[in-house]
Structure 1
Amino acid sequence: MLYREMGKTGDKVSILGFGCMRFQEINGRIDAQRTERQLLQAIDSGVNYFDTAYVYHGGKSESFLAEVFSKGIRNKVKIATKLPTYLIQSRRGMEEVLGTQLKRLKTDRIDYYLLHMLTDFASWEKMNQLGILDFLQRARRDGKIIHTGFSFHGDRENFKLIVDDYDWDMCQIQYNYLDEYYQAGTEGLQYAAVKGLGVVVMEPLRGGRLVGRIPAEVDKIWSKAEIARTPAEWALRWVWNHPEVTMLLSGMNEEAQIRENIRTAGEAYPNSLAQEELAVVERVKEAYQQLLKIGCTGCRYCLPCPSGVDIPNCLGIYNDKHLFQTKRTKIHYFLMTSGLVGGVPSHASLCSGCGKCEKVCPQQLKIRSHLQDVVRTLEYPAMKQLTGLIHWGIKGLNLVKRRKE
């Protein structure tokens, strides 16, 4: 197992982190015996960073980790978990959640405490208004959390603003060879690293979609490469090749996955891929892009949209549906664009047809027409009305809570 320093913290962490969102389940519950064996297999092989969250597995992920780590393992590993910003409505709420997490994890401290799913600077400002700075300062002073960070799901400009607005220890971003320019992207990765932050990469395999059903055109390129590797190994090595990356997370729930990833994590040094190898990955990337329904690169020059549409996100999810035959795409689209998990509604049917986006699109895409395709394919009937009703209900509940407080 290779290790890198988590930015300015100086912690030596394994370049492969264990993502604890996708444990094996039986009848809707974590398969305890199998998952414990997998966790121990990873630890015995040198993995020392485990990433969970308040909501993973319906709140059971943290508790399950505690059962395993309490058997003489806790001091061998770093635990990362997250404050669910999308559920927090008060300063007291932060304390209550952290207290619950410490009890679930059966520990006196959390090594890396992240603000979960910041989407833009406004979502960070909202937490500021609720007292997050005082909360983090007191929690660190009391030893309840050791290092602070955030996970991010927005554009690179908002990412930079958040990086600069607090003395973070680390951050977590989505990054893979198809997402070089999506969300924080390469520019954000390098920016955070220069600032001294450790950078943890999530979705290095795009939720498994880069290794599942491989399009024939892509499979042909992989099979002709001089060095024989699986699509997973190619994708992970591409991420690890970036010296700015501290580690990547893998939601491993198959023994074969764990063995392959651990083997690769013992060989993947930064800047170790030859130009010929990088060229293979670039050809695969180009093949995927040619298969995409819409040639959006995620550059985000089309934003901000006057009507509030997150154009790259809407087009990206639409592409995923056709490229990867993703199940439950409508539900994913609804969650990511309705504003229910943070931020504001940003779905395609908000488009007013002004055409401002098309004037600045480097790819000269017919964005208004594509957004209509998104609406027809992915949106539930009366989505505007439905999201408005739900937000109205949430505001009402929050008002009741504040009055009780």
Structure 2
Amino acid sequence: MKYREDKYGNKLSVLGYGCMRFTMKAGRIDIKKANAEIMAAYEAGVNYFDTAYIYPGSEAALGTILADNGIRDKVNIATKLPHYMIRKKEDLDKYFEEQLKRLRTNYVDYYLMHMLSDVKTWERLKGLGIDEWLAKKKEKGAIRQVGFSYHGNSDAFCSLIDAYDWDFCMVQYNYLDETTQAGRTGVQYAASKGLPVFIMEPLRGGKLARNLPDKARQLISSYPIKRSPVEWSFRWLWNQPEVTCVLSGMNSLEMVQENVEYAATAEVNSFTEDDFNLIAKVKEAINEKMKVPCTGCRYCMPCPKGVDIPGTLAAYNRRYTDGKIAGFIDYFICTALRRDSTAASNCIDCGKCEQYCPQNISIRKELKIARRELEGYIYGITKRAVKLFMRY
């Protein structure tokens, strides 16, 4: 196992265990199976285990396994505060104490604000006193480090990085999301501020492992260096010095064994020019079904009405490359889970964006199509329900 350091010099395995996808049996986590998988990862050197309050049964399962095997103090637990459920300051202790009980511990190594969407959301939490609360927890050792997980564009991500003295961050990042989500721009910005960067969705929800188009698979299989699609995805990430730890939702012993083998030889700056060319060709093969040739350069931003143009077009493209559900989820996250809507329906057809687009995309026309395909009845109902729940 290879290791990289966090902000304070602690060694972290380059492969982290994502605990969201434990195998279920009769409606509950198969604890015996999960125990075997976690212990196999631990014995291979994995020392970072990531869970969250809203992952059904995950915190309790992880806490039980670590406690029963006597290894709690030998690993790092990361879990996440469901800030969207916080209504008053007292709720902070309520949820945190429940998490400690589930995890059978008296401290959390890495504590994240779960799916923190923008600075306005963080300001709402600050208004409830979260910065003072976190400071006290850190002083007492109940929380060792504070960070946030993020889904959204690079501009909002960089603004969040500057909004607080974070210890680390977590983003969705893979070779398909190099110019979307926080993207390479966000990853490098966080690293420039001295923050370790943890990676989720390295396989794009499995697409880069199981659902590659035939042309992409052929490119990989015919390449002189024989690696699986999964290994190429991981190595593309580990090649970057800004990446600290890559999470994998491992739910089989075979998956654990394969991933730890990859992690055992993970090196920074090991890619050759030919390796990069291979990934570029694979991306082209995957993106052949894309509807809009948007590169995510963001020259079209900012929109005077707040439309997340690159995020909308990326979600629209994903609808055709990954399926309707994947496209809907991406669009909902980047437009509706915000204090202020960034939806395509905000567009007033001013055309300012098109003046700066280096791809000469008819952005206004594409936004209308994206709105029609992504903002249906379900979008509206779900958006209202989430706003009510989160009190945005």
Q: Give TM-score scaled by structure 2 length.
A: 0.92
Shift of 1:133: 1.0
Structure 2: how far apart are the matches of 1:12 and 1:293? 43
5 Å-filtered alignment, 1:6-405, equals 6=6, 8-57=7-56, 60-71=57-68, 72-325=70-323, 328-329=325-326, 332=329, 335-336=332-333, 339=336, 341-381=337-377, 383-384=379-380, 386=381, 389-390=384-385, 393-394=388-389
Shift of 1:119: 1.8
- Equivalent position SS for 1:167: coil
Letter in 2 for 1:5: E
CA spacing shift, 1:313–1:30, aligned 2, 3 Å = farther
- Equivalent position SS for 2:114: strand
Structure 1: how far apart are the matches of 2:340 and 2:23? 33
Q: Deviations over 1:38-80 (max 9, x none)?
A: 11111111111001111112xx111111110111111121000
Shift of 1:196: 1.7
Structure 2: how far apart are the matches of 1:333 and 1:195? 27
Structure 2: how far apart are the matches of 1:158 and 1:392? 19
Structure 2: how far apart are the matches of 1:334 and 1:244? 27
Unpaired runs of 5+ residues, structure 2, are none
Shift of 1:394: 4.3
Letter in 2 for 1:137: A
- Equivalent position SS for 2:80: strand
CA spacing shift, 1:62–1:391, aligned 2, 3 Å = closer
Shift of 1:203: 1.3
C-alpha RMSD of matched pairs (Å): 2.3
Is the 2:108–2:143 Cα contact (8 Å) retained in structure 1?
A: yes
Q: Deviations over 1:78-124 (max 9, x none)?
A: 00011122222222211211111111111010001111112222222
Letter in 2 for 1:13: L
- Any runs of at least 4 consecutive aligned residues in structure 1 with deviations exceeding 6 A, and if so which? none
Shift of 1:161: 2.7
CA spacing shift, 1:234–1:329, aligned 2, 3 Å = closer
Structure 2: how far apart are the matches of 1:165 and 1:393? 26
Structure 1: how far apart are the matches of 2:302 and 2:232? 35
Structure 1: how far apart are the matches of 2:384 and 2:262? 48
Is the 1:118–1:154 Cα contact (8 Å) retained in structure 2?
A: no
Is the 1:35–1:253 Cα contact (8 Å) retained in structure 2?
A: yes
CA spacing shift, 1:278–1:305, aligned 2, 3 Å = same
Q: Deviations over 1:335-366 (max 9, x none)?
A: 42563x45333333343333232222222222
Shift of 1:306: 3.4
Shift of 1:283: 1.7
Letter in 1 for 2:144: I
Shift of 1:147: 0.9
Q: Deviations over 1:163-198 (max 9, x none)?
A: 233222111112111222223222222222222211
Instruction: Name the residue aligned to 1:3.
Output: 3
Residue identity (%): 45
Structure 1: how far apart are the matches of 2:378 and 2:162? 40
Shift of 1:154: 2.8
Structure 2: how far apart are the matches of 1:267 and 1:162? 33
- Equivalent position SS for 2:40: helix
What is the aligned residue count?
391
Shift of 1:34: 1.5
- Equivalent position SS for 2:209: coil
Deviation larger for 164-173 or 353-362: 353-362
Structure 2: how far apart are the matches of 1:31 and 1:182? 35
Q: Give TM-score scaled by structure 1 length.
A: 0.89
CA spacing shift, 1:143–1:230, aligned 2, 3 Å = same
CA spacing shift, 1:186–1:77, aligned 2, 3 Å = same
Q: Deviations over 1:244-273 (max 9, x none)?
A: 111111111132221111100001111112
Shift of 1:331: 5.6
Structure 1: how far apart are the matches of 2:388 and 2:184? 39
